[in-house]
A and B are shown apart, each in its own frame.
Chain A
Amino acid sequence: DGGITQSPKYLFRKEGQNVTLSCEQNLNHDAMYWYRQDPGQGLRLIYYSQIVNDFQKGDIAEGYSVSREKKESFPLTVTSAQKNPTAFYLCASRVRGELGTDTQYFGPGTRLTVL
Chain B
Amino acid sequence: AQSVTQLGSHVSVSEGALVLLRCNYSSSVPPYLFWYVQYPNQGLQLLLKYTSAATLVKGINGFEAEFKKSETSFHLTKPSAHMSDAAEYFCAVRNSGGSNYKLTFGKGTLLTVNP
Residues of A close to B102: CB separation below 8 A: 45, 48, 58
> What is the CB-to-nearest-CB distance from A111 to chain B, in angstroms, rounded to a whole number?
7
Question: What is the number of contacts between chain A and chain B, taking CB atoms within 8 Å?
Answer: 58
Determine if A50 is an interface residue (Cβ-Cβ < 8 Å): yes
Taken together as a complex, chains A and B put the C-alpha atoms of A107 and B100 apart, in Å, by 21
Check B100–A50 contact: CB distance below 8 A: yes
* Interface residue B115 (Cβ < 8 Å from any Cβ of A): no
- Interface flags, A90-111, vs B, CB<8A=1, else 0: 1010100101111111111101
Q: Which of B34, B49, B100 contacts A56 (CB 8 A)?
A: B100
Q: Interface residues, chain B, CB within 8 Å of chain A?
A: 9, 32, 34, 36, 41-46, 49, 51, 90, 94, 99-103, 105-108
A-B contact sample (18 more), CB < 8 A, given A31-B101, A50-B99, A90-B44: A6-B43, A9-B41, A40-B107, A40-B108, A42-B90, A42-B105, A42-B108, A45-B103, A48-B100, A58-B102, A92-B44, A100-B94, A101-B49, A101-B51, A103-B46, A104-B103, A106-B44, A108-B42
Which residue numbers of A lie inside 8 Å of B, CB to CB? 4, 6, 9, 31, 40-45, 48, 50, 56, 58, 88, 90, 92, 94, 97, 99-109, 111
